[in-house]
């Protein structure tokens, strides 16, 4: 198990990166930065050959790493969380206006050290220290996600699936709004009908009490 590549970026602007081996991970990582939809915070993974690219985006700052496909998700995302915290703690608001690779000379060493630690030190996997049912449930959830990632889908296919899910979500919301509108109008019509019926009943009662349709005894 190993984390082989990592970068930190603001949007598509790479601020620091490090590769532990010779790969084309850098070019694929830039494709991923361009393909991540929207601007919301997200945790997502993309498969490419025998490797998984894990991405964590928080407050506009994206941290990405490439790990081999046996690494699962726990260790890579623990690594990404650690890198994000260290980067923000070190550079603060300078991140918002930094030029490409402005932090690379200094922070690439941090990436290298943390990649080595999370790849080979068993103490890095803190989740293994947890005991009890909650740990078992979490492990099952992670295994299920890993099974999906291990299908070997390409990046483009995964992005297409995401787009389809977004389209389905949009159609569902549209149908839900239409259904709510239909129910609202139905309730309005029912309320009006009940009011009219109540007025008719009141009129019939008054006509009976007042001895005529024109309510002669009641209008005197």
213: Cβ–Cβ under 8 A, 6 or more apart, which residues?
207
Percent of the chain with pLDDT over 70: 74
Q: Please determine, for residue 159, whether its predicted confidence score (pLDDT) is greater than 50.
A: no
167 vs 177 pLDDT, higher one: 177
Distances (CA, A) of 100 to 44, 80, 195, 207: 24, 20, 69, 87
What's the whole-number average pLDDT of the chain?
77
Average pLDDT over residues 7-14: 93
* Residue range 102-145, pLDDT digits in tens: 999 999 999 999 999 988 887 776 554 443 343 443 443 333 33
pLDDT score of 40 more than 50:
yes
**pLDDT greater than 90 at residue 48:** no
What's the predicted TM-score (pTM) here?
0.57
Q: What is the pLDDT of residue 157?
A: 35
In this structure, the number of other CB atoms found within 10 A of the CB of residue 26 comes to 13
Mean predicted confidence (pLDDT) in 89-97: 91
Mean pLDDT of all residues in 18-42: 82
3-state SS, residue 153: coil
Q: Above 80 in pLDDT, residue 25?
A: yes
Distance of alpha carbon 114 from alpha carbon 209, whole angstroms: 92
Q: How confident is the model at residue 82 (pLDDT cuts 50, 70, 90)?
A: very high
Q: What is the pLDDT of residues 209-220, one digit of tens each?
A: 787 777 777 766
Over residues 177-181, mean pLDDT: 77
Domain 3-153 listed as CATH 3.40.50.300: no
Around Cβ 62, how many Cβ atoms within 10 Å? 24
Average pLDDT score over residue span 162-174: 52
Determine the Cα angle at 26 with ends 24 and 30, to 5°: 125
Question: Where in the chain are the domains?
Answer: 3-153
- How many CA atoms within 13 Å lie on the side-chain side of 182? 6
User: Which residues of the chain form beta strands (DSSP E)?
Assistant: 3-10, 13-19, 42-48, 51-58, 61-68
């Amino acid at each position: 198990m190993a984390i082989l590549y990592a970068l930190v970026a603001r949007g598509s602007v790479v601020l620091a990166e490090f590769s532990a081996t010779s790969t084309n991970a850098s070019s694929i990582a830039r494709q991923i930065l361009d393909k991540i939809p929207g601007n919301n915070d997200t945790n997502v993974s993309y498969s490419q050959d025998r490797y998984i690219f894990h991405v964590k985006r928080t407050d506009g700052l994206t941290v990405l790493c490439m790990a081999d496909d046996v690494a699962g998700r726990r260790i890579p995302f623990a690594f990404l969380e650690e890198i994000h915290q260290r980067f923000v703690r070190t550079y603060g608001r300078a991140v918002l206006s930094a030029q490409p690779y402005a932090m690379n000379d200094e922070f690439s060493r941090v990436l290298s050290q943390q990649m080595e630690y999370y790849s080979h030190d068993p103490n890095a996997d803190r989740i293994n220290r947890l005991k009890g049912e909650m740990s078992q449930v979490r492990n099952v959830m992670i295994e299920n996600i890993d099974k999906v990632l291990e299908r070997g889908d390409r990046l483009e296919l995964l992005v297409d699936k995401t787009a389809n899910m977004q389209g389905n979500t949009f159609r569902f919301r549209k149908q839900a709004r239409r259904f709510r509108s239909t129910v609202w109008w139905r309730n309005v019509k029912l309320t009006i009908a009940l009011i009219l019926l109540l007025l008719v009943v009141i009129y019939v009662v008054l006509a009976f009490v007042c001895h005529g349709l024109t309510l002669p005894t009641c209008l005197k």
